[in-house]
Amino acid sequence: MRNLARAVAVMAMTAAPIAGVAATANAEVTADLAVPHGIVAGGNYTGVIANGLTVVFECHAAATGAVSVAMNACYLTTGGSGATLALPGSAVATAGTATVPFSPFQLCWTATATFADSATNRTHGCTLLPSVGGVPSLAGTGVSEAT
Protein backbone atom coordinates (compact mmCIF):
# COMPACT_ATOMS: atom_id res chain seq x y z
CA MET A 1 0.00 0.00 0.00
CA ARG A 2 2.88 2.31 0.84
CA ASN A 3 4.37 1.75 -2.65
CA LEU A 4 1.01 2.56 -4.25
CA ALA A 5 0.74 5.81 -2.28
CA ARG A 6 4.32 6.72 -3.26
CA ALA A 7 3.57 5.95 -6.94
CA VAL A 8 0.44 8.13 -6.87
CA ALA A 9 2.40 10.96 -5.22
CA VAL A 10 5.19 10.71 -7.82
CA MET A 11 2.64 10.73 -10.67
CA ALA A 12 0.90 13.77 -9.17
CA MET A 13 4.21 15.65 -8.81
CA THR A 14 5.17 14.74 -12.39
CA ALA A 15 1.79 15.62 -13.89
CA ALA A 16 1.71 19.19 -12.52
CA PRO A 17 4.89 20.32 -14.33
CA ILE A 18 3.81 18.53 -17.52
CA ALA A 19 0.45 20.31 -17.40
CA GLY A 20 2.28 23.58 -16.82
CA VAL A 21 4.49 22.95 -19.87
CA ALA A 22 1.42 22.13 -21.96
CA ALA A 23 -0.31 25.32 -20.82
CA THR A 24 2.82 27.37 -21.54
CA ALA A 25 3.23 25.78 -24.97
CA ASN A 26 -0.45 26.45 -25.74
CA ALA A 27 -0.04 30.11 -24.72
CA GLU A 28 3.03 30.41 -26.98
CA VAL A 29 1.16 28.92 -29.94
CA THR A 30 -1.74 31.33 -29.32
CA ALA A 31 0.71 34.25 -29.15
CA ASP A 32 2.30 33.11 -32.42
CA LEU A 33 -1.12 33.11 -34.08
CA ALA A 34 -1.60 36.76 -33.08
CA VAL A 35 1.03 37.86 -35.60
CA PRO A 36 0.96 41.58 -36.39
CA HIS A 37 -0.39 42.44 -39.82
CA GLY A 38 2.85 43.77 -41.29
CA ILE A 39 3.67 44.65 -44.89
CA VAL A 40 6.96 45.53 -46.55
CA ALA A 41 7.19 47.17 -49.97
CA GLY A 42 9.89 48.70 -52.11
CA GLY A 43 11.08 49.62 -55.55
CA ASN A 44 14.15 49.85 -57.77
CA TYR A 45 14.97 51.73 -60.94
CA THR A 46 17.74 52.03 -63.50
CA GLY A 47 17.95 54.75 -66.11
CA VAL A 48 19.70 55.07 -69.45
CA ILE A 49 20.25 58.39 -71.22
CA ALA A 50 18.74 57.99 -74.68
CA ASN A 51 16.35 60.56 -76.20
CA GLY A 52 15.72 61.84 -72.69
CA LEU A 53 16.06 59.49 -69.78
CA THR A 54 14.63 55.98 -70.24
CA VAL A 55 13.94 54.38 -66.87
CA VAL A 56 13.14 50.74 -66.13
CA PHE A 57 11.52 50.31 -62.71
CA GLU A 58 9.79 47.76 -60.51
CA CYS A 59 7.81 47.80 -57.28
CA HIS A 60 7.12 44.86 -55.00
CA ALA A 61 5.35 44.08 -51.72
CA ALA A 62 5.10 41.14 -49.33
CA ALA A 63 3.05 40.46 -46.20
CA THR A 64 3.40 37.25 -44.21
CA GLY A 65 0.02 35.68 -43.60
CA ALA A 66 -1.86 37.90 -46.05
CA VAL A 67 -4.65 36.45 -48.18
CA SER A 68 -4.01 39.10 -50.84
CA VAL A 69 -1.54 41.89 -51.55
CA ALA A 70 -2.17 44.82 -53.88
CA MET A 71 0.30 47.18 -55.53
CA ASN A 72 -1.98 50.22 -55.61
CA ALA A 73 0.59 52.51 -57.23
CA CYS A 74 4.10 52.31 -58.70
CA TYR A 75 5.18 55.46 -60.51
CA LEU A 76 7.94 57.91 -61.36
CA THR A 77 7.27 61.42 -60.07
CA THR A 78 8.12 62.92 -63.48
CA GLY A 79 5.87 60.55 -65.46
CA GLY A 80 5.43 56.86 -66.09
CA SER A 81 3.68 54.24 -64.01
CA GLY A 82 3.49 50.50 -63.62
CA ALA A 83 0.23 48.59 -63.70
CA THR A 84 -1.78 48.41 -60.50
CA LEU A 85 -2.17 44.80 -59.51
CA ALA A 86 -3.80 42.73 -56.75
CA LEU A 87 -3.00 39.05 -56.32
CA PRO A 88 -4.14 36.36 -53.91
CA GLY A 89 -1.35 35.26 -51.62
CA SER A 90 1.36 37.10 -49.77
CA ALA A 91 3.36 38.89 -52.51
CA VAL A 92 2.93 41.08 -55.57
CA ALA A 93 5.21 42.88 -58.04
CA THR A 94 4.78 45.19 -61.02
CA ALA A 95 7.17 46.88 -63.42
CA GLY A 96 7.31 49.49 -66.13
CA THR A 97 9.47 51.49 -68.52
CA ALA A 98 9.15 55.22 -69.10
CA THR A 99 11.00 58.00 -70.88
CA VAL A 100 11.07 60.99 -68.57
CA PRO A 101 12.59 64.49 -68.68
CA PHE A 102 16.24 64.72 -67.76
CA SER A 103 15.57 66.08 -64.27
CA PRO A 104 15.59 64.67 -60.74
CA PHE A 105 12.75 62.22 -59.98
CA GLN A 106 11.66 59.59 -57.49
CA LEU A 107 10.10 56.15 -57.78
CA CYS A 108 7.10 55.90 -55.43
CA TRP A 109 4.78 53.05 -54.46
CA THR A 110 1.72 52.26 -52.38
CA ALA A 111 0.81 48.71 -51.35
CA THR A 112 -1.99 47.18 -49.29
CA ALA A 113 -2.27 43.75 -47.67
CA THR A 114 -5.53 42.08 -46.64
CA PHE A 115 -5.52 39.36 -43.99
CA ALA A 116 -7.89 36.46 -43.20
CA ASP A 117 -9.50 38.40 -40.34
CA SER A 118 -10.36 41.22 -42.85
CA ALA A 119 -7.73 43.52 -41.36
CA THR A 120 -5.76 45.60 -43.87
CA ASN A 121 -2.44 47.38 -43.66
CA ARG A 122 -0.93 49.85 -46.09
CA THR A 123 2.53 51.23 -46.75
CA HIS A 124 3.81 53.99 -49.03
CA GLY A 125 7.32 55.10 -49.84
CA CYS A 126 9.64 56.68 -52.38
CA THR A 127 13.28 56.36 -53.30
CA LEU A 128 15.56 59.17 -52.22
CA LEU A 129 15.86 62.12 -54.58
CA PRO A 130 19.58 61.95 -55.32
CA SER A 131 20.91 64.48 -57.77
CA VAL A 132 24.07 66.48 -58.17
CA GLY A 133 23.60 69.92 -59.68
CA GLY A 134 20.16 68.98 -61.01
CA VAL A 135 21.41 65.86 -62.80
CA PRO A 136 19.20 62.86 -61.97
CA SER A 137 20.52 59.65 -60.53
CA LEU A 138 20.61 56.73 -62.96
CA ALA A 139 19.80 54.12 -60.28
CA GLY A 140 17.91 53.99 -57.00
CA THR A 141 16.25 51.72 -54.50
CA GLY A 142 13.95 52.13 -51.51
CA VAL A 143 11.89 50.25 -48.92
CA SER A 144 8.89 51.07 -46.73
CA GLU A 145 7.08 49.00 -44.12
CA ALA A 146 4.11 49.11 -41.81
CA THR A 147 3.57 46.84 -38.82
Each of the 147 residues of the chain gets a pLDDT tens digit; together they read: 444 444 334 334 433 343 443 333 444 444 445 557 899 999 999 998 877 789 999 999 999 999 999 999 999 998 888 888 899 999 999 999 999 888 888 999 999 999 999 999 999 999 987 666 777 788 889 899 988
State the alpha helices, DSSP H only, in 35-134.
Answer: none
Q: Are 44 and 140 in contact (CB under 8 A)?
A: yes
- Interior angle at CA 14, CA 8 and CA 16, nearest 5: 105
Tell me what pLDDT residue 135 has. Answer: 74
For residue 70, give the nearest of 143, 140, 123 by alpha carbon.
Answer: 123
Residues 6+ apart with CB under 8 A from 72: 84, 110, 111, 112, 122
State the alpha helices, DSSP H only, in the chain.
Answer: 2-33
CATH class of 39-146: mainly beta
Q: Are 56 and 43 in contact (CB under 8 A)?
A: no
Please list, residue by residue across 111-140, b when 16 or more beta carbons sit within 10 angstroms of its beta carbon and e when fewer do: bbbbbeeeeebebebbbeeeeeeeebbeeb
The overall pTM is greater than 0.95: no
